[in-house]
Amino acid sequence: MIAIYKKELKSYFTSMMGYVFVAFVLVVVGIYFAAYNLNAYPLIGYTLYNVTFLFLILVPILTMRSIAEEQRNKTDQLLYTSPVSLISIVLGKFLALISVFGIPVLVICFYPQILNQYGSVNMAMSYLAIFGFFLLGCAYIAIGMFISSITESQIIAAVISFVVLMASYQMEGIASFFSDTAWTSLVAFSILFLVVCIIYGMAAKNVVMPAVLFVIAESVTGGIYLMNPVRFEGAFAAVLKKLNLAGVSYNMIQSGILDFTNIVFYFSVIGFFLFLTVQSIKKKRWN
**50-71: pLDDT as tens digits:** 888 888 889 998 888 887 666 6
Query: Would you call 275 exposed, middle or buried from its count of C-beta atoms within 10 A (0-12, 13-18, 19+)?
Result: middle
pLDDT at 243: 79
> Are 252 and 72 contacting, i.e. CB atoms less than 8 angstroms apart?
no
* 113 vs 154: CA distance, rounded Å: 39
pLDDT at 204: 57
The predicted-structure confidence for 22-40, as pLDDT tens digits, reads as follows 999 999 998 888 888 777 7
Taking the alpha carbons at both ends of the chain, their separation in whole angstroms is 24
What is the pLDDT confidence band of residue 149, given thresholds at 50, 70 and 90? confident
* 205 vs 24: CA distance, rounded Å: 42
- What is the arithmetic mean of pLDDT over 223-234? 82
- What is the arithmetic mean of pLDDT over 84-93? 83
* 224 vs 227: CA distance, rounded Å: 5
